Amino acid sequence: MMDSVYADVVRRNPGEPEFHQAVHEVVETLAPVFEHRQDLLDAKMLERVCEPERQIIFRVPWQDDNGTVHVNRGFRVEFNSALGPYKGGLRFHPTVNLGIVKFLGFEQIFKNALTGVNIGGGKGGSDFDPKGRSDAEVMRFCQSFMTELYRHLGEHTDVPAGDIGVGGREVGYLFGQYRRITNRWEAGTITGKGLAWGGSNVRTEATGYGTVTFTAEMLKTAGEDLDGQQVVVSGSGNVALFAIEKAHQLGANVLTCSDSTGYVVDDKGIDLDLLSQIKLQERGRVATYAERRGGSARFVEGGSVWDVPCDIALPCATENELNEDAAKTLVGNGVKAVAEGANMPCTPEAVQVLRQAGVRFGPGKAANAGGVAASGLEMRQNAVRDSWSFTTAEGQLEEIMRSIHTICYETSARYGAPGDYVLGANIAGFERVADAMLAQGLI
């Protein structure tokens, strides 16, 4: 049955390898569920969960600072709303296409289910490349994008947020245009907002913080912690920056960061103030970090950050950034744990290598759920026009991350594979969504 469902997905969604990969990874772990859940089998729950409820594709015309007209493509895939309004970020990156958005939306269903907050799964974005664009250009693009997307959104319908290429600046422009078109100050319609206008403390930090909390929980099952561990982080965006911060807070030493041009190794540990200044203030490249840091850091053009020996690896850049060879190198260097801060950064072959070597592996659906969990908390505050302190919001986030770890661990143990977090996350996420769908009838 599982094979034919997967074959059908491939047949009906041609040319979408990332979506196939995401589905395959889930489908291959669900067989034990169907062995004792004939009701889910009869209801064709697997087939239903693989088919988005709605897919929206639209034209986004905009004008650059020289007056030249550009046309981009916008997407929103509203994948599953059994547990709550569609929820998931928007990605602005030249690689965005329908298959990418579907893979991200599919992952989001199970990730969001694991948070225990009432949010469904969705994802969106555009092949617009914000790199090198002025603020005014980004604003015009966001306004055009929202002028079409707004009709599909709403605090009870679909609630986007950021992802790669969409941060506080873009969320601001998007929210402004939504407000203008609808004449509604509907804070709960998008998350990742500024603190003064409906945003939540810890939303910016949440994905990176949560990934490290999840890693600490995995280590705890072996009586270990992060103190004194050498950590390799990839990426230098929002997820990476705050993973570095939390890892340092817990006593680890983060040696690296990276971007599409190469990586930086800093023997003294990454100086987060300097990196934040370059990345957030100047929107610069990591090579600049090495230039300014002085003796302890060097920039390696092109190479693989996974060549750097470490105890813990946190891929926080993008999909399929850690392949089989990289996983073998990490294992050879004695890595103890790998947690996915990005969505699907490890290839299936890499995951196989890590699991076979007994490396603790936190899949993205569980390990990077902190971002969307904090978005859920932002929606909760918006619903009652409240605003929590940093400490309260961080406490709630940590509680959710620990509970995700517990659910995944306990589910893996219940199915006879304690510590297999891939199995635990997929099954626990799927069971929640499938049971909700079953209870709601043939929808």
DSSP state of 167: -
Partners of 253 in beta bridges: 230
Query: Considering the complex, what minimum distance in angstroms separates the CB of residue 107 from ligand GLU?
Result: 8
Among 52, 84, 85, 89, binds ligand GLU (CB under 6 A): 89
Helix (H) or strand (E) holding 115: helix 98-115
Q: How far apart are CA 228 and CA 269, in angstroms?
A: 12
The terminus-to-terminus CA distance of the chain in angstroms comes to 21
Specify the pairing of strand 312-315 against strand 230-234: parallel
Q: Is 343 in the site for ligand GLU (CB under 6 A)?
A: yes
Using the contact rule CB under 6 A, the part of the chain among 29-37, 248-256, 310-318, 370-378 near ligand GLU is 370-378
Among 82, 187, 231, 372, binds ligand GLU (CB under 6 A): 372
Binding mask 149-188 toward ligand GLU (x if CB under 6 A, else -) reads ------------x-x-------------------------
Amino acid sitting at position 97: N
The question of whether 123 is a catalytic residue gets the answer: yes
Among 371, 379, 397, 429, binds ligand GLU (CB under 6 A): 371
Q: Is 88 in the site for ligand GLU (CB under 6 A)?
A: yes
Query: Considering the complex, what minimum distance in angstroms separates the CB of residue 161 from ligand GLU?
Result: 3
Whether 268 contacts 290, CB under 8 Å: no
Q: Is 341 in the site for ligand GLU (CB under 6 A)?
A: no
The backbone torsions φ and ψ at residue 262, rounded to the nearest 5 degrees and listed phi first, read: 160, -165
Among 347, 375, 382, 426, binds ligand GLU (CB under 6 A): 375
Q: How far apart are CA 215 and CA 203, in angstroms?
A: 19
Binding mask 183-222 toward ligand GLU (x if CB under 6 A, else -) reads --------x-------------------------------
> Whose Cβ is closer to ligand GLU: residue 111's or residue 360's?
111
Residue written as tokens 């929820």? 87
Q: Is 235 in the site for ligand GLU (CB under 6 A)?
A: no
Residue written as tokens 């100050």? 185
The backbone torsions φ and ψ at residue 166, rounded to the nearest 5 degrees and listed phi first, read: -130, 110
Residue written as tokens 């941060």? 167
Whether 132 contacts 60, CB under 8 Å: no
Q: Tell me the residue nearest to ligand GLU as measured from the CB.
A: 89
Looking at the annotation, which residues are catalytic? 123
Q: Rule CB under 6 A: which residues touch ligand GLU? A: 87-89, 161, 163, 191, 343, 371-372, 375
